[in-house]
Structure 1
Amino acid sequence: MFNFAKSMLLAVSASVLNPVLGAATVRINALGDSITGSPGCWRALLWQQLQNANIKNTDFVGTLAGQGCGFTYDGENDGHGGFLATGIVKNNQLPGWLSISKPDIVMMELGTNDVWSHLPTETIVAALTKLVDQMRSQKPTMRVLVAQITPMNPSGCSDCNQGVINLNKAVVAWAPTKSTAASPISVVDCFTGFNTATDTNDGVHPNNSGNAKLANCWFTPLKAAIALAGGNTTTVIPSASTNSKR
């Protein structure tokens, strides 16, 4: 005879191991500049990793369509080439984008062009603060993942990488002060291990190696955010074993 209580426990355990079962669809917006969107093939690799992990309750959203990365993927995003975090704030562009995409999670990788424009670190962080405020106006329970941006060494900008280091350090200090229980902010380290000499072709934009590293840095934090936003279901899914006689 099959122990019914044991069968129920096994079914619940299985559903916890696979949080997709019964979970709500989670809308995810990748917000950034050309590193995110032109073509931003790390997003394609990230989507592929989620699929391989059987995390399929996702809908990537944004005002821009995905670009070709060698295979079909869910590629909508808001990776606007050449945009600055400070410029998005100045032009009040984010509220309009969010009203279209209506995300549950925002993956924000902004600041590269601000650093490249030699803007002060505190000015960039102030822009990030405003962007988070606008995200919460759209959805008070927005989950925000903020990147420590990748290193950069473009021609003619000898101080850019130090600017990135300064910004990333400031983001780590800023995030806990801005995070709330309803709308948590998680910092995603996309800086460590990224090498401008081998992971870019121009000192800034990721090549194939860089795209793989970016996908890897985002995967675990995004997986956790999806599980929380979509709900770690504990629904009991009937199986052959649970249908055994009691």
Structure 2
Amino acid sequence: MRPRHIVTVASLVAALVAVPAVVVLASHPVVTTTATAEAARIAAAQIRELRHTPNQVLTGVVGADVRGAVTFAYAGDSITARPGSWLRDLASDPTGSGTGVHALGGYAHSGYRSDQVLARMPAVPGADVLVVELGTNDVNQGVPTDRIVRTIDTLVERQGTPHVLLVAAPPSNHTTSLWGVDRRTGNRVLDRALATDAHAHGWSYADPFAGDREPDDSWAPGTTADGIHPTTAANVRIAGAFATAIRTASGSSGTGAPAVSETAVSDTTVTTR
């Protein structure tokens, strides 16, 4: 009988010791479930935002082919693709004589990151300048700056155009995103990285939005309706700045005379080496 008694006592002790362990372990699924539910909610909101982005795409030749115009390829997001964009404004000139530039092709898609545009960017033979207006959607989705720059470098390498123009991220009135980043601050960091990258490669860098940008990198009053994109009126000015930047990047002043190297348009908006 003694062995049975020992076994019974041992079983009772084991059961008592196991009770708190069971309670502690039981609390973990609750915490995990709560965290998982929150992550799922955020992920669903992110998906809704991406799906809400208009499916605006621009590709192929844009605008009139004018003798002597500087030819360029474009890679962009909604700033380039959406109705009333700088590129569509340039194309609205029936003769192209007012801009001196002509888009031979490229790819721009609203809401796309740089890697998504890279995957769909066609070769654009004959273009003198490659205009890269990308990165702000990457910033919004928390993509590291160095990865954005590497993607853009890959895009440039694949195109092999004689001249390259990297464009600053536009102003932003948004300081938060569903991906947990400060979009405005992220754009500012990206701009510095793009300027540095352009300088390192001997490319051009431009900020066509400088005239509509506040000191804190928000949009100037009256120049945006959604805090992200410029208004139609603002885009007219921005289109002119793009055209000037493209001509400068190509080494052409747009008047038939060569542009001076080490030049800046508006001192800070366009730089060339």
By the TM > 0.5 criterion, same fold?
Answer: yes
Partner of 1:98: 123
Q: Provide closer, same or farther for how the CA distance between residues 129 and 226 of structure 1 changes in structure 2, counting only shifts above 3 A.
A: closer
Mapped partners of 2:103, 2:147: distance in 1: 29
Q: Provide closer, same or farther for how the CA distance between residues 232 and 217 of structure 1 changes in structure 2, counting only shifts above 3 A.
A: closer
Partner of 1:125: 149
Instruction: Describe how 1:216-227 pairs up with structure 2 within 5 A.
Output: 216-226=240-250
Q: Provide closer, same or farther for how the CA distance between residues 230 and 200 of structure 1 changes in structure 2, counting only shifts above 3 A.
A: closer
TM-score (norm: length of structure 1) = 0.63
By how many angstroms is 1:154 displaced?
Answer: 3.9
Checking the alignment, whether the CA contact within 8 Å between 2:163 and 2:250 is kept in structure 1 is no
Amino acid across the alignment from 1:210: A
Is 1:171 matched with 2:194? yes
2:117 pairs, out of 45, 64, 88, with 88
Percent identity reads 28
Q: Provide closer, same or farther for how the CA distance between residues 52 and 102 of structure 1 changes in structure 2, counting only shifts above 3 A.
A: closer
Is 1:210 matched with 2:234? yes
Mapped partners of 1:220, 1:156: distance in 2: 33
- List alignment gaps of at least 5 residues for structure 2: 1-66, 214-218, 259-273
TM-score (norm: length of structure 2) = 0.57
3-state SS, counterpart of residue 127 of structure 1: helix
3-state SS, counterpart of residue 51 of structure 1: coil
Aligned residues: 182
Instruction: Describe how 1:1-246 pairs up with structure 2 within 5 A.
Output: 24=68, 26-47=70-91, 48=93, 51-52=97-98, 55=100, 58-62=101-105, 77-89=106-118, 92-94=119-121, 97-99=122-124, 102-136=126-160, 139=161, 142-154=162-174, 156-157=176-177, 159-179=182-202, 185-195=203-213, 196=219, 197-226=221-250, 228=252, 232=256
Mapped partners of 2:184, 2:175: distance in 1: 12
Mapped partners of 1:85, 1:112: distance in 2: 9
- List alignment gaps of at least 5 residues for structure 1: 1-22, 63-76, 180-184, 235-246
Q: Max radius of gyration: which structure?
A: 2
Q: Tell me how large the CA RMSD over aligned residues is.
A: 3.2
Q: Which of the pair has the greater relative contact order for Cα pairs under 8 Å at 6+ separation?
A: 1
By how many angstroms is 1:103 displaced?
Answer: 2.1
Amino acid across the alignment from 2:73: N
Checking the alignment, whether the CA contact within 8 Å between 2:76 and 2:133 is kept in structure 1 is yes
Structure 1 runs of 4+ aligned residues shifted over 6 Å read: none
Checking the alignment, whether the CA contact within 8 Å between 2:145 and 2:190 is kept in structure 1 is yes
Amino acid across the alignment from 2:231: N
